[in-house]
Structures are given as structure tokens and as C-alpha cells.
Amino acid sequence: MSLKRMDNVGIVVESLDAAISFFAELGLKLEGRGTIEGEWAGRVTGLGNQRVEIAMLVTPDGHSRLELSRFLTPPVVADHRNAPVNALGYLRVMFTVDDIDDTLVRLRSRGAQLVGEVVQYEEAYRLCYIRGPEGLLIGLAEELRPRDPA
């Protein structure tokens, strides 16, 4: 097999600082931040000469990364942030959290809004979608553990 791992999920934002703050509150750690620019970068993306501020965040287990990008040039050309959950294409990223209620309280202080409601799927998960910074769609999942008999 040639696939080693999924390296990261990329999200384009208008405010890198606000997005970093939000995802840090969720529990991701800022791994690095910098500017990517020049003709070589544009050859990868097909955008020509580009200048992009990026931040790489990593999950607590170290296995997953989120790349936040703020394009300085060329300018952003489309906005999918208000697309409904059933829109075609990449739409959201989902995180497993210890306590969905506590997480919602903390993220609401950073502007998060619940999309529908928190629901329970069988005896396995509590789930919800929120709109985070700039309307980004984020899924939250809390794994339910079987109760120990008392």
C-alpha cells in the first residue's frame, strides 16, 4: 500500500488570528505559522504567483492536522461558508471531544453557534454541528461510554 496517512485538512479564512484562537480553544495546538509565497507555490496550487499566510495546528493525539490559510494574493474568489450540510464538495471537519456540552460553552464564548441541536446516535455518540469563526461548519462528536453497573 502506498498511502501512509492523511496529512491535513485545509481551510481558507479571512482572519487567521481569530481562527487560530477558536481552534486552540477547541484543543488544537499551534504547530507553526508563516508565509508561503512565490512562483513555486503557485505551481502547486495552479494560482500563479501567490502569497498566503498559513498556520498549522495539531490535535492532542498528534495524528491529525488542520492547515489554516489566509490568501493575500490572489484574492479569494468563492465563499462556501453558508452552504448547507447537503452541499456537494468538502464541507466540514469533525472533532471528537470529551464533553460536548462543556465544549459548546467554551466555543460559544468565541462566537460558535449551534446549527441544529445536540442529538444522540444510539448508545454510541452525541453529535452536533456548529458554525465557528467566519461561519465554518464544524462537527463535534462525544463518544458515549457504557455505564458501569453499580
pTM of the model: 0.85
CATH superfamily of this structure's domain 9-73: 2,3-Dihydroxybiphenyl 1,2-Dioxygenase, domain 1 (3.10.180.10)
CB 14 within 8 A of CB 69: no
Beta bridge partners of 73: 51
* Helix orientation angle between 100-108 and 16-26, rounded to the nearest 10 degrees: 150
Peptide bond into 74 cis (omega under 30): yes
pLDDT on residue 6: 81
Tens place of pLDDT for every residue, the chain, 150 residues? 687 788 899 999 999 999 999 999 999 999 999 999 888 888 888 888 889 999 999 999 999 999 999 999 998 888 887 788 788 777 789 999 999 999 999 999 999 999 999 999 999 999 999 999 888 989 999 999 765 555
As assigned by CATH, the class of the 93-143 domain is: alpha beta
Per-domain residue ranges for the chain?
9-73, 93-143
- State how far the Cα of 113 lies from the Cα of 137, in Å rounded to an integer: 10
Contact in structure between 65 and 59 (CB atoms under 8 Å): yes
